[in-house]
Structure 1
Amino acid sequence: MNLPDQAVGLATLRRNDGGLHRLTTSLAEAWANGLPVDWDTHHPTTAGPVVPDIPDLPTYPFQHRHYWIAPATTPGERPAYTEVGPAPEAEQTWGPGLAELGEDDRRRAVTDMVLRQSATVLRYGSSDDLPGDRPLREMGFDSLTAIELRNRINALTGLSLPASAVFELATANALAERVYAELAELNWEVTARSTAEYATALDSPAVSPTDRGGTLRTLFRQAVDEDRYTRFIAVMSELAALQNQFTTAEECAEPLDPLRLSARHDDRPGDEHATGRALLIGCTGTAPNGGAHEFLRLSKPFRGERDFFALPLPGYAVTGTGAGARPVPVPATLEAALDAQAQAVLRVQAMEGNEPIVLIGHSGGALLAHALASRLEEVHGVVPAGVVLIDPYPPGHQAPIEAWGKLLGEGLFAGELEPMADSKLLAMGRYVDFLTDRAPGRSSAPVLLVRAAEPLGEWPADGGDWRAHWDNPHSTVDVPGDHFTMMRDHAPVIAREIASWLDGIGPCRNTAQGGDR
């Protein structure tokens, strides 16, 4: 399956928004991006002998002008059409004159712009309904809407914010601060765009140089097509050893602050069972297209019930902004990376009242979650209340990974929010090098192994058990889906199993484990 470097994702269903208006909006967005739409089928003639004249829609992307057909009020009546009159003052005029404003007025202008764009993307009537300090995930942002917001801001400002910016910055105020800082580096030089220029910029958003797919991504695409996935990963491991590196947690250039994805309501009745108050911390995986968004679906069922954070993996971020953005150093050892993560986990634990922590990871992130649990116990004296391993294939049990390499590569390309950056492909290679042949460390934390019930691809009858494996003591549960779809389509099932398992274990102590259910 060959995918284009740039794709437009359109959602026909959104939370609390799945009716005919949502479908019509999505079809209009598809039309505006060049996809043919049979409007006669979508808007059939009304009852009676009068056949309405369907107005031509523009063939270029448009914003802030409505072309909807109002329904007829009585049978046979000609439907009313929206007048295509002068457009209201376009948002694309935002920006010129910022340099002449004072600092407070500039900051207010940037914040107001970010809130207006957020309200537009989420279909709110007014930006007044969006408090700037409310988490963006709680407002309703998902993968597609986050990219849409990024595209709008980039089109207005001329910046090259990465798609991950909306995920990594917790609130609209934080996102506005990021925009403010990048515009300040440009000395507030924002050029007004014509309607056509704005539409073009919106359709083909600027991409940060560090997030732009390069030569390595092209080679990765070729390797996947030729079923040489594992060979490419091995090459990345060798190349990654030549990158700039940090040797201690103190040298790590990233704060690694865990990002809150869900919050426990303050008015929720107290739970005497410590794991009911545990902080759930999702350890992002090694994939070059990974990040906090890996846990958006899994964290959603926990909203109001438990605090759920996403913990970044060092080596995948950038420092600086705009043209000065550079990849951060990668860790020289896995221990350096784990110590940097451990410090971030302990900081958020202290901020949350020293509640117990439960580490969660999927695929390579599962191996890292268990390694972090071992490091926390061995070096920092903290035993997690539990570790949840979602479909891991540790060393010694990677025959399915080798057999399904092409499918794994296809899954990475299919999951791109934007082209995988070369720097992130190298970071992936660094961690693959760390995890190859590394036996799981010791940990007193109870472990839940969550396995996919369906194989990712074909598997020979005499090939043995293809399912995820864990040698150390653990509890096991199987959930619907394969290695990818279990997290994409069946996250609520996984969340239910995690909650049930937590309800049955004690805080920070060993349990009798090993039974399947």
Structure 2
Amino acid sequence: RSPAALPAGTPVPPPLRGLLRPARPTASPAGANGVAGEVTEPDGVAGAWRERLAALPPSERAPALVELVRAEVATVLGHAQVEAVDRDFPELGLDSLMSVLLRNRLSLLAGIPLAATVAYDWPSAERLAEHLYAELSGALADEAAAAGPPEGDPRHEPTRPDIPTVERRRETGRSLPTLYRQVCETGDVVSAMHLLVSASLAAPTFGHDEGARHAIPPLRLASGADGPALVCVPGFATNLGRPWYAGLAGPFDGERDVFELRHPGVDTGVAVARDLETLAELHAATVRRQLGDRPYVVVGHSMGGSAAHAVTARLAADGAPPAGLVLVDSYHVTPDREAEPWLLAMPARIPAAVGERFDSAVDDLTLLALGAYTRMFRGWDPQPIQVPTLLVRACEPLPDMPERWRSSWPLPHDTVDAPGSHLGVLEENAPTTARAVREWIDALAPGRGRTA
């Protein structure tokens, strides 16, 4: 492994630390071939739950599925009693790899494809079971296709009927995740990224005229009515199902709404935006649909900062600019820097940390999307926009960063330094980052702040 690419001591982001745990037996629900709460070996037959539920009277299927899901959640979290998981997943400590392992297990047992973010979209055993039941209803002969949660249930936000759900299929055999991980493990992260960029030319794509069909509702990470909402734009690498901004959103919960946009193809969706214009247009439409005339601020971290600027520029051109743009340790990657190993080692840290489990946790399209969106920003220059901009710079370098390692932005902006590394500003140092963002937003007023 090349010292310049992935040196010993390369930091693993907190969501990935301590996640490689041995498989555990399943805590069986009541009536599931065992005494309630006792530990038994799981039935691993693909689609086993369909037959199990179909054998029950229709009125008993939904409650039975709740118990089955509770047992799987207990297994992933290592609890011997299913009662221990009767809280929302964030409170239970369900982290990145655990959420993917849970997704994989539920997808196998239910016999249906599930998004990598399913545990964050439906963050409790009961809500996740209700979602699965709605997905399974078409496969159960006695159930109506429109089966779903009771009308008016406050735990659920309505889904948009004009955005169809398209199933995502996982291919078998030697996968792109395996190839990418193996190249990363040689230390040649430059070649690993070239692999993805080249392969992305064959990715399924969609144009601006198909945007509505491929729009993905944003994740709501925090709720509150004070101040402008935050609309967060992630980078293009998978975070194994965990929202990129989960750490930053925590300090804002109860204060203001925090949403995270999702790039088509990365963990969810069936195609990649054809070009940068299509991507920016799609995200801008999502923001307008979600927030209407409410004030909001766009936030972007790392390469997500470039995407955030592109989305902000599109919103401004459409006459609905945000109140501000926050770039959290973002780098403008110019042609002379795009092959620097320390930059390309950032997305490579996840397969390096997870190892062979990465191969089944990530599908081909997720990596094709990383290559495609990285390719779109090659040679990209941000254009000036009349939106106040803040650059939050990390104070601690990652290993093997160059002498001039501090993040920078080529357009006018305010700057604040925050404790932590490039990764830490959104994780262990997220409360301090959130405070800096909050103070800057509170200070915004007509004529204040620099525009980019």
Same fold (TM over 0.5): yes
Report the counterpart of residue 65 of structure 2 in structure 1.
110
2:266 pairs with 1:316: yes
Partner of 2:323: 385
Over residues 328-372 of structure 1, what are the superposed CA-to-partner deviations in whole Å (9 max), with x where a residue is unaligned? 12111211111111111112103xxx3211111111111101110
Corresponding position of 1:303: 253
Report the CA distance shift for 1:488/1:213 in structure 2 as closer, same or farther (over 3 A).
Answer: farther
Contact 1:214/1:422 (CA < 8 Å) preserved in 2?
no
Distance in 2 (CA, whole Å) between partners of 1:496 and 1:451 is 14
Q: Is the 8 A contact 2:70 2:125 kept in 1?
A: yes
1:62 aligns with 2:25: yes
Residues 1:407 and 2:354 aligned together: no
Distance 1:87 1:424, change over 3 A: closer
CA distance in 1, matches of 2:249, 2:260: 9
Structure 1 residues 144 and 434, CA gap change in structure 2 (3 angstroms): closer
- Report if the CA contact (8 A) 2:233-2:260 is conserved: yes
Aligned: 1:176 with 2:139: no
CA distance 1:400–1:391, shift in 2 (3 Å) = farther
Give 1:355's aligned residue: 294
1:244 Cα shift? 2.3
AA aligned to 1:433 is R
- Taking a change above 3 Å as real, the CA distance of residues 247 and 505 of structure 1, as seen in their structure-2 partners, is same
Larger radius of gyration: 1
Q: How far did residue 444 of structure 1 move?
A: 1.8
Residue 298 of structure 1 deviates from its aligned partner by: 1.1
> What's the offset of the Cα at 1:409?
4.7
Q: Percent identity?
A: 30
Q: Find the aligned partners of 1:218 and 1:156 in 2 and give their Cα distance.
A: 24
Tell me what 1:500 maps to: 439
Does structure 1 conserve the Cα–Cα contact (< 8 Å) formed by 2:389 and 2:449?
Answer: no
Q: Residue 254 of structure 1 aligns with which residue?
A: 214
- Quote how far apart the aligned CAs of 1:406 are: 6.0
Matched, 1:472 2:411: yes
Q: What secondary structure is seen at the aligned counterpart in 2 of 1:448?
A: strand
Q: 1:281 aligned to 211, 228, 231, which one?
A: 231
Deviations 1:459-490 (A, max 9, x none): 55xx5x22111011111122233222332321
Q: Secondary structure at the match of 2:385?
A: coil
Match of 2:380 in 1: 438
Instruction: Name the amino acid aligned to 1:365.
Output: G
Match of 1:98 in 2: 53
Partner of 1:219: 179
- CA displacement 1:358-410 (0-9 Å, x = unmatched): 111111111101110000111x2111011111121213386386141563254
Matched, 1:164 2:117: yes
Aligned-pair distance for 1:498? Answer: 0.9
The one-letter amino acid paired with 2:325 is: V
**DSSP-derived class of the 2:391 partner:** strand
- Farther off after superposition, 145-154 or 388-397: 145-154
CA RMSD of aligned residues (A): 4.0
Q: Could you give the per-residue CA deviations for residues 275-327 of structure 1, whole angstroms, max 9, x where no partner exists?
A: x52111111211134655211111111111121111111222556xxxxxxxx
Tell me how far apart the structure 2 counterparts of residues 116 and 215 of structure 1 sit (CA, whole Å).
Answer: 30
> Which residue is equivalent to 1:511?
448
- Counterpart in the other structure of 1:242: 202
Once residues 173 and 487 of structure 1 are traced to their aligned partners in structure 2, the CA distance between those partners, rounded to angstroms, is 29
Name the aligned partner's letter for residue 450 of structure 2: Q
Q: Which runs of 5+ in 1 are unaligned?
A: 4-8, 14-25, 34-60, 66-85, 189-207, 267-275, 320-327
Residues 334/104 of structure 1: CA separation in 2 closer, same or farther (3 Å cut): farther
Alpha-carbon distance in structure 2 between the residues aligned to 1:387 and 1:363: 14
Separation in 2, partners of 1:257, 1:87: 40
Alignment of 1:33-182 (within 5 A): 33=23, 61-64=24-27, 88-89=35-36, 95=49, 97-115=52-70, 121=77, 130=86, 136-137=89-90, 141-143=94-96, 146-147=99-100, 149-150=102-103, 153=106, 157=110, 161=114, 163-169=116-122, 172=125, 174-182=127-135
Is the 1:228–1:405 Cα contact (8 Å) retained in structure 2?
no
- Contact 1:446–1:474 (Cα < 8 Å) also in 2: yes
C-alpha spacing 1:459/1:280, structure 2 compared with 1 (3 Å): closer
Report the alpha carbon displacement of residue 256 of structure 1 after superposing the two structures with TM. Answer: 1.5
The 1:244–1:151 alpha-carbon spacing in structure 2 relative to 1, beyond 3 Å, is closer
Shift of the 415–340 alpha-carbon distance from structure 1 to 2, 3 Å rule, reads farther
Kept in 2: contact 1:107–1:180 (CA 8 A): yes
Structure 2 distance, partners of 1:466, 1:10, is 24
Q: 1:12 to 1:368 in 2, by over 3 A?
A: closer
Partner Cα separation in structure 2 for residue 503 and residue 358 of structure 1: 11
Contact 1:122 1:145 in 2 (8 A): no
Residue pair 1:220, 1:232 contacting (<8 A) in 2 also: yes
Deviations 1:58-108 (A, max 9, x none): xxx43449xxxxxxxxxxxxxxxxxxxx96256758945421445454234
1:341 aligns with 2:283: yes
Relative contact order (alpha carbons < 8 A, sep ≥ 6): 1 or 2 greater?
Answer: 2
Q: Distance in 2 between matches of 1:336 and 1:457?
A: 36
Please give the alpha-carbon distance, in whole angstroms, between the structure 2 residues aligned to 1:362 and 1:225: 25
* Partner secondary structure for residue 450 of structure 1: strand
TM-score, normalised by the number of residues in structure 1: 0.65
| C-alpha separation in 1, matches of 2:171 and 2:385 | 36
| C-alpha displacement of 1:230 | 2.7
Q: Which amino acid aligns with 1:466?
A: W
How many Å separate the matches in 2 of 1:449 and 1:10?
24
For 1:513 and 1:339, how far apart are their aligned partners in 2? 25
- Whether the 8 Å CA contact 1:162–1:211 is kept in 2: the answer is no
Paired with 2:126 and 2:240, the residues of 1 have a C-alpha distance of 24
1:231 pairs, out of 191, 199, 212, with: 191
